[in-house]
Amino acid sequence: MRLTVLALGALCLATTATAQTPEQTAEAALKATPVWDGHNDLPEQLRSRYRNMIAGFDFADTTDTAEPAKNIGAMHTDLARIAQGRLGAQFWSVYISANLTEQQAVQATLEQIDVMKRIIARHPDRLELVTTADGAERAMKAGRVASLIGMEGGHSIGSSLAVLRQMHALGARYMTLTHSKNTPWADSATDVPAHGGLTDFGKDVIREMNRLGMLVDLSHVSEDAMNDTLDLTEVPVMFSHSGARAVNGHARNVPDGVLTRLKSNGGIVMVVGYPDFLSEKRRQWGASQAAEKARLESLWRGNPQAVVAGMEAWRSANPEVLATVSDWADHIDHVRKVAGVDHIGIGGDYDGMETGPVGAEDAAGYPALFAELARRGYSRADLQKIAGGNIERVLRAAEAYATAHRTDPPIENPTAF
């Protein structure tokens, strides 16, 4: 009996000694499968801050880029924080404003592709431009961040399938169908519906993206446009940076009905880190703040000082609600519950917001999120799927379809002028 007790005690000690902390589980997962992030707005920062004049831009460290006089915070991304964040692959977003005309948008998108390619070329030891899953795998094995290009907003193609094909030829590997406003062929989640989803031309855009092997990104689009796309697409879709609407009711998040459809489609939600899309309490706080400002502006017309004083008093009585890494993990939990762990990725949206959630404020924060997931019981295998395995599978599916249909003729549409 005494020997049995001693043996059990030794087993318990051995188990305790080999048990991993959540941080260790996360670290092991991210060492095996570094983060493949769906959306980073570094190119937007280069345009808004430097007008794409980057000769003096130091990507090694951007922590000193704040401009307090202009109420502009420091950038979220640099080579140092990329390494700290265990980032292995990144879709760099070549976002341009939805307020531009379509012709202006085409030019601006070309400029954004150019500036991102110039940044990558300046750091050949750390970054590598890739256009395929195999290329991404080779770059990561060589210790470089696999750098892919994603277009944010269908206005970037000027309602032209020829332009879409040329953007693909330049390296774009996903396109978000809309941004904050409708395009002439697809409804945005944050605009008044004009098309009931996709127009006939919009459906041709989906077909041509499938043929090319370009991922269809459904972040920013209306629920009707999401469902129209899922009815039509032959390959898995992506949401490059969205959350779960059941957790936070923002229109930018994905409703459960669409999450359910991802199971059969094979697609992925790359869960966003944008605080306003994460915390429902923060969303409600923001709405209350906007309502109070509108009320004060109505009461004190012509007296902006009174409005400022009133808002200061309101904020003093209603402290800002902050989103946290735990809120981010809540969205991942919900997507797992509805769609399954095979349909989750990460789309931080760094450099496209004021700050990330508390605990993961910038691109160094991914390990904190993965440690939180490990704390909630996610296995190392689950974490590796979320970090990069799932999005690699989605990209390979798109590439396989394009290869199988490489002899299909391009879809044509008439020129506008």
Q: Write out the catalytic residue numbers.
A: 39, 41, 152, 179, 220, 241, 349
Question: Which pair of structure tokens corresponds to residue 64?
Answer: 């000193």
Amino acid identity of residue 396, one-letter, is R
Amino acid identity of residue 252, one-letter, is R
- Rounded CA gap, 64 and 48, in Å? 16
Question: Which pair of structure tokens corresponds to residue 192?
Answer: 């008044």
Cβ atoms of residues 150 and 175 within 8 Å:
yes
Please choose, from the candidates 186, 176, 202, the residue with its C-alpha nearest in 3D space to the C-alpha of residue 349: 176
Please choose, from the candidates 347, 339, 337, the residue with its C-alpha nearest in 3D space to the C-alpha of residue 376: 337
Kindly provide the b/e burial profile for residues 119-147, where b requires at least 16 CB atoms within 10 angstroms of the residue's own CB: bbeeeeebbbbbbebebbbebbeeebbbb
> How many CB atoms within 10 Å of residue 15?
9
